[in-house]
Amino acid sequence: MKTSEIKELSDKEIRERIQELSDTLVRLRMNHAVSPLENPVKIPNTRRDIARLKTILHERELIKEQK
């Protein structure tokens, strides 16, 4: 997910996406512990997507506080 795509989302949508990706990350980790994933790069990519979403959300909160 690109930063430009994230910036188009509303705060509510970003929070929902963070929750969905967090659940996905837990499932990926559990599946990987049981048997190796076909594409283990999905785990760090999912973590990075969550971090991007949280960063954009935090930036928006800081802007709201300044106003």
Contact call for residues 56 and 5 (beta carbons, < 8 A): no
Q: Domain of 33: which CATH number? A: 1.10.287.310
Tally of domains within the chain: 1
Q: What is the pLDDT of residues 5-35, one digit of tens each?
A: 999 999 999 999 999 999 999 999 999 999 9
At 67, is the pLDDT very low, low, confident or very high (cuts 50, 70, 90)? Answer: confident
Rounded CA-CA distance 58/11 in Å is: 10
Q: What is the domain extent for residue 8?
A: 3-66
**pTM for this model (two decimals):** 0.91
- The count of residues in the chain is 67
Higher per-residue confidence, 3 vs 1:
3
What is the predicted pLDDT for the residue at 1?
78
